[in-house]
Structure 1
Amino acid sequence: MGTLEANIYLSPLTKRAVRAELQAVTKSNNFTGPNLALTYSNRNLFKGGETLNISTNVGYETQFASGDNSGLSSLELGLKGEIIFPRVIFPITFNENFFEYSIPKTKTSLGVNYLSRSKLYTLLSGSALFGYSWNANKYITYEFNPISVNYTQLTKTSTEFEEILDDNPFLQQSFDQQFISGLTFSFTYNEMVDSNDPHQFYLNTTLDVAGNSIGLFGKDGEPDEPKTFLGLQYAQYAKADMDLRFHLNFGKNKSQTIATRFFAGYGLPYGNSDVIPYVKQYFSGGPYSVRAFRIRSLGPGTYSAEADEDNNSSTYFDQTGNIRLEANVEYRFPIFSFFKGAIFADAGNVWNSKSNPSFDNEEDKFTSDFINQLGMGTGIGLHIDVQGFVIRFDLAAPFHDPSLPEGQRWDFKIDEPVLNFAIGYSF
């Protein structure tokens, strides 16, 4: 009987690394500018496989527009530190067989961000996180963050911005909630790690709950006034969403794919909050959403930003809601070498469950007629796929625009396409 001698050679990663990214950003509100991000990594911080990541970013944008909006600018500075431990840090010791498939990770992070928008406001924000992630098997991943804290503060506001908030109490409330403390839990089932499977299924569900524990220590204010913690108004909400995907791979070497996706999300403010904090609301449109509409420009409901501009009541803010529905389908096929083509169709929108009083006739509210309020579009794409690294160009045009009056929404605006540039597949 013969013997087999196996030699396994391992090459360690470089202990320290520095990464730089330079981006050009353009948004639906005509803000355009560069963004520079730098990240330093140490992969063996305490000699036990701990990973330290320190990242900083600097971004400047200016608005190319006419009239009163011309010359608006935005400056953003950010700093974040993260340490990842390749083990569970917890007061109770777990049975070693509990994580028999893979080594769990404990993640901690602290971050601070500065944002200044000329003629509007200056915003300071900080965040802290402590949590765990682990793989239950080849396909299933859990992530649990029992501590997730966000703090925001408007440090300087202009007269124009104060007038906007006075005219829009709904928006005022979303900025007043300076303190967000809660927990998040995520479950992911991903068959797409197996590239040889012709049928690939993906499911991600996320639960985000804020304000329950901190509410026990909250201080009651005046009647009809929100509670505070350490002098700060805190948010209470529950938010759940689901991202469901299915890929059918076929043809020679499974080089062709029909990819589908469905997303649904709902956020419920309660207790101390009448509206979900602005930073936690949903948006629709953009290269990873409904590609025939620019990022954050779709909805809520049948709201029309152009009509607001015609009435000189533009608020400069992104269009968001606490309900989001989207569906996508895409046919991907090889062209030549690393070049792949795509034909796709997208549909979706965001809504408010409780209408913003600033909107006319509750045009932003979710109703049973939501199907007729979906933004829909179709288009073609060129994807450069080099060993899984994808550079994507998608050209799309809307054929159903819910912001138009009824009877005018079905109109294929092939002469008004939107070009999307992104890294990675949309779904």
Structure 2
Amino acid sequence: MKIRSVIIILAVLIQACSVKKFIPEDEFLYTGSNIEIESDTLVRDKAQLKDELESVLRPVANSKFLGMRPGLYFHYKANKEKPGFINKFLNKKLGEEPVYLSDINIENTNELLINRLENRGFFYSRVSSDTTHDVSTKTGKVKYVLNVPEAYTLKTYQLDSDSLIVYQDIEKNLEKSLLEVGMRFDLPKLKAERERIDNHLKKDGYYNFNPGFLIFETDTNRYDNRKFDLYLRLKKDVPSKSVIPYRISNVNVYANYNVDEDSVAKNFKRYKEKNYFQEELFFQPKRLDPYILIETGDYYDPEESRNTSRRLSFIGAYKFVNIRYDEIDTQANDSIGLLEANIFLSPLKKRAIRAELQAVTKSNNFAGPHLGVTFSNRNLFKGGESLHISANLGYEFQLTSGNQSGLNSLQFALTNELIIPRLLFPIEIDKDFFKYAIPKTKISLGGEYLKRSKLFSLSSLSARFGYYWNANKFVTHELNPVSLNFVRLGNTSKEFEKVLEENPFLKSSFAKEFIAGLTYSFTYNGMVDTSKKNVFFLNTNLDIAGNSLSLFGKENTEGNKEVFGLEYAQFAKLDADLRYHHRLENGHLVATRLFAGYGIPYGNSDVMPYSKQYFSGGPYSVRAFKIRSLGPGTYSPEANVESGFRDQNGNIRLEANAEYRFPLITYLNGAVFADAGNVWTSKDNPDTGNEGTFSSDFINELGIGTGVGLRVDIQGFVIRFDLAFPLHDPALPKGQRWVNDFGSPVFNFAIGYPF
């Protein structure tokens, strides 16, 4: 009965969205074109050729969805005498202008198809076309039949000989040619070959050359079987300055250039064959020089120029980087030209203070104000160093009424971060080793104090020393060989002590919060390429702690090892966050995400430190469940509700998300999403039993939810509101987990997209 009902509903929708009644009397709705390729010989890459020919067919027929044309339907409805607000809105977002058979210029399309075939080597092709009409549906389409002869193929490819030195440099790179003997004539490949030669010549110093100076000529007279010889030469009257290479005669670096002033500094210091101009010392030349790949005496190379500009921008002390080349007087009979490279660097303000006041609302029903202040000093020691001192003060109170009301928390954090735009390493590394960007050294030291009323206070200290760098446009690495974290639990209330005594797993997690180890992060971000429809993002993190300390640890009376009187944690943790975005037209997007993580304690640790465990639920996870309220496994915390403290963490996490995003009005986007995930423990926990242990039945233990959302997106700053509904709750008994609880939604407020 359900299937029959669905079929009836679909039939009604299709009938309701029918556009036949709106089509004018003398018109037929265009439904598309077909192309057939006929040939007496084998056509290589026929499918690819057909796809290319279909790409020239214009206009495109109106889109269809499940047999309907909603875009066209909304257009017709909006053009009624009294369309109404809803029809106008739907037409603005989804409407499409109708495409009729009379809009097709068949003669022009025939010419385009012939032209495209000739560009691919199929000369003397013929095309015929035919239109068909369906009176019952008032639709029509066009069929194109292409009669394609054998294509012309390349027999020889050679360069004209000449005494100009540029011919010698072109010949050196012909072995890397895109053109191969036996390939069919291909105009786009010929253009690409010119671009390739131009790029190689530019790298060889030909500053004034451009691909338009090259011309290809073909000769078919020697052959009767559709073969051709291809000749490459320079056009006539090419300027003499365009066919000679250029060397860098001098490099001038303006280390403190003001774009608002016409004058430039006159005082300079000569360092490693470069002139560093600055009225007073702003940036030490020995610190700036490794970023500059343009050297006096080298041939002009645009790639070295781009690399230099990017490397200088990555320092973080400059707002603008501009590289300008000036030609030194060159005579017509000179065999080499000279260029002077001028590098203008406009600095950011050296000191800055930023204050931020936030109203914070959390999924655990805590809310309150947070004040953050950050002081920044760029170019601290005149070598591009940046110092950032951040202080954060927050007060939160429990919104829930009942036995948990009156709870509040006070949080204070102070973080100091020094970023040095070079590699602090005992062994000197050549500046050409990192072509794309020079690694930065980051040293951070911070402390945090958290006081939770009626429960506990928590003090923590952290320190890190490491490096991060961009390997290319898409890949980023971060390595912290030294990562220290110490957490001390104090001022515990009797209520919280009772929780710890009843929960040895939680007590053990808090007891070993001295963490010393190594972290590594790898990020591939293909989403920076805005021209692609299908893009990926991958972030993997490795966290290893305690191995080095185990060499020096001494065993205490409890059988655990200590360093400096502190028990330390030993564990290894690895996780991966994979995202895939499929970009549709007009700002529509399908976003998906898969997360998997596993941490294992060993040696000096029986459990993972509490701060290193995984949790599930919340605005960046499974949104139909509150933060830290999902799992582990099928565990239900009902017995512990009176304590007001939930221990729902694990050392295994799996999660999958999907979201369809679409624009609504200016700065406002909508979304429909589905989330699934949970956390587990790798072995039985005495407090949760085997309910939280990972098993082969993990699929049936996923928390699943769906929902809708609104996003305010102002130039990349996103405020997000999500309303999520639980569908599958693993904490319920088997057979009762599919809840479909649309009457109890979970509201999420967050900054930024979830994935």
TM-score in terms of structure 2 length: 0.54
* Contact 1:178/1:232, CA 8 A, preserved across alignment: no
- Report the Cα distance in structure 1 between the residues aligned to 2:744 and 2:497, rounded to whole angstroms: 35
* Contact 1:187/1:205, CA 8 A, preserved across alignment: yes
- Report the Cα distance in structure 1 between the residues aligned to 2:655 and 2:732, rounded to whole angstroms: 19
Structure 1 range deviating more: 274-283 or 39-48: 39-48
* 1:26 maps onto 2:364 in alignment: no
Structure 1 range deviating more: 145-154 or 3-12: 3-12
What SS class does the counterpart of residue 491 from structure 2 fall into? strand
Counterpart position of 1:293: 625
Counterpart position of 1:234: 568
* Contact 1:28/1:297, CA 8 A, preserved across alignment: no
Return 5+ residue gaps in structure 2 as ranges.
Answer: 1-238, 243-323, 327-341
- Report the Cα distance in structure 1 between the residues aligned to 2:478 and 2:502, rounded to whole angstroms: 40
- Report the Cα distance in structure 1 between the residues aligned to 2:344 and 2:384, rounded to whole angstroms: 19
- Report the Cα distance in structure 2 between the residues aligned to 1:20 and 1:363, rounded to whole angstroms: 46
* 1:350 maps onto 2:679 in alignment: yes
User: Is the radius of gyration larger for structure 1 or structure 2?
Assistant: 2
1:350-374 deviation per Cα after TM superposition (whole angstroms, max 9, x unaligned): 1111222112x42111111111111
1:363-411 deviation per Cα after TM superposition (whole angstroms, max 9, x unaligned): 1111111111111111111112222222211111111111122222101
* 1:412 maps onto 2:747 in alignment: no
Structure 1 range deviating more: 232-241 or 376-385: 376-385
Taking only the aligned residue pairs, the percentage that are identical comes to 63
The residue type paired with residue 354 of structure 1 is K
* Contact 1:151/1:179, CA 8 A, preserved across alignment: yes
Question: Which structure dedicates a bigger proportion of its chain to strand?
Answer: 1
Structure 1 range deviating more: 271-280 or 314-323: 314-323
Q: 1:10/1:392 Cα in 2 relative to 1: closer, same or farther (>3 Å)?
A: farther
- Report the Cα distance in structure 2 between the residues aligned to 1:356 and 1:33, rounded to whole angstroms: 35
Shift of the alpha carbon at 1:122?
Answer: 1.5
What SS class does the counterpart of residue 342 from structure 1 fall into? strand
- Report the Cα distance in structure 2 between the residues aligned to 1:381 and 1:9, rounded to whole angstroms: 46
The residue type paired with residue 27 of structure 1 is K
Return 5+ residue gaps in structure 1 as ranges.
Answer: none
* Contact 1:45/1:51, CA 8 A, preserved across alignment: yes
The residue type paired with residue 230 of structure 1 is F
1:36-55 deviation per Cα after TM superposition (whole angstroms, max 9, x unaligned): 11111111111111111100
What SS class does the counterpart of residue 160 from structure 1 fall into? helix
Shift of the alpha carbon at 1:325?
Answer: 0.4
Counterpart position of 2:139: none
- Report the Cα distance in structure 2 between the residues aligned to 1:55 and 1:229, rounded to whole angstroms: 30
Q: 1:173/1:315 Cα in 2 relative to 1: closer, same or farther (>3 Å)?
A: farther
Counterpart position of 2:199: none
* Contact 2:629/2:646, CA 8 A, preserved across alignment: no
The residue type paired with residue 110 of structure 1 is L
Structure 1 range deviating more: 211-220 or 415-424: 415-424
Q: Aligned ranges for residues 206-285 of structure 1 at < 5 Å?
A: 206-222=541-557, 225-252=559-586, 255-285=587-617
- Report the Cα distance in structure 1 between the residues aligned to 2:513 and 2:709, rounded to whole angstroms: 41
Structure 1 range deviating more: 324-333 or 291-300: 291-300
TM-score in terms of structure 1 length: 0.94
* Contact 2:461/2:485, CA 8 A, preserved across alignment: yes
Shift of the alpha carbon at 1:177?
Answer: 0.6
- Report the Cα distance in structure 1 between the residues aligned to 2:638 and 2:531, rounded to whole angstroms: 47
Which of residues 364, 367, 374 in structure 1 aligns to 2:692? 364
Counterpart position of 1:386: 714
Counterpart position of 1:329: 658
* Contact 2:591/2:658, CA 8 A, preserved across alignment: yes
Q: Aligned ranges for residues 17-166 of structure 1 at < 5 Å?
A: 17-166=352-501
Counterpart position of 1:175: 510
RMSD of equivalent CA atoms: 1.9
* 1:424 maps onto 2:732 in alignment: no
- Report the Cα distance in structure 2 between the residues aligned to 1:268 and 1:330, rounded to whole angstroms: 32
Shift of the alpha carbon at 1:11?
Answer: 4.7
1:321-344 deviation per Cα after TM superposition (whole angstroms, max 9, x unaligned): 111000001111111222111111
Q: Aligned ranges for residues 164-203 of structure 1 at < 5 Å?
A: 164-203=499-538
Shift of the alpha carbon at 1:18?
Answer: 1.5
* Contact 1:250/1:256, CA 8 A, preserved across alignment: yes
Structure 1 range deviating more: 17-26 or 188-197: 17-26
- Report the Cα distance in structure 2 between the residues aligned to 1:405 and 1:26, rounded to whole angstroms: 32
* Contact 2:481/2:518, CA 8 A, preserved across alignment: yes
Shift of the alpha carbon at 1:425?
Answer: 1.0
- Report the Cα distance in structure 1 between the residues aligned to 2:497 and 2:749, rounded to whole angstroms: 35
Shift of the alpha carbon at 1:8?
Answer: 8.8
- Report the Cα distance in structure 1 between the residues aligned to 2:712 and 2:343, rounded to whole angstroms: 34
Shift of the alpha carbon at 1:9?
Answer: 7.3
* Contact 2:470/2:476, CA 8 A, preserved across alignment: yes
Shift of the alpha carbon at 1:21?
Answer: 2.1
Q: 1:68/1:338 Cα in 2 relative to 1: closer, same or farther (>3 Å)?
A: closer
What SS class does the counterpart of residue 618 from structure 2 fall into? coil
Shift of the alpha carbon at 1:5?
Answer: 7.7
- Report the Cα distance in structure 1 between the residues aligned to 2:647 and 2:640, rounded to whole angstroms: 13
Question: Which structure dedicates a bigger proportion of its chain to helix?
Answer: 2
